[in-house]
Structure 1
Amino acid sequence: MGLCELAGAAGLWLRATSRYASVGLFIIMLGATYFHVIYETFPKAIPAMILAGLTVIIYVARRTQSNGNAQ
């Protein structure tokens, strides 16, 4: 799992792969949120929820940038 997170972080740096990397990291953070809510306390899920939100912001920002370049 850690290797996937590192690959996703590296993928965020490249414009060509940043949208795909943000989707992959979002899925990982959803799993982390689920784990912390079910098996631990809710406050431990907050960092994963914040990171999931940041990946959504990155995805939307990259999508609007690519749409702006296409016009």
Structure 2
Amino acid sequence: MFSIPWKHAARHGWQVDKDACLFKQWAIHTGKYKEGETQPDPKTWKANFRCAMNSLPDIEEVKDKS
């Protein structure tokens, strides 16, 4: 089991380099983002990552109820 930090961008203190680094790296890995060539779009990176995780049959979301 693993945990992915999923902080909402509207929250106080949200920083793209800290709170969206996994999503950015996924966008770079998939070729959807090229640093210096395309505009940063953390909202789309996060949505694309979520869709990729949801499409994998061996990944199951376990919601934290604490």
Give the TM-score of the pair, scaled to structure 2.
Answer: 0.30
| Bigger CA radius of gyration | 1
Indicate the structure with greater helix content.
1
Structure showing greater relative contact order (alpha-carbon pairs closer than 8 Å, 6 or more residues apart): 1
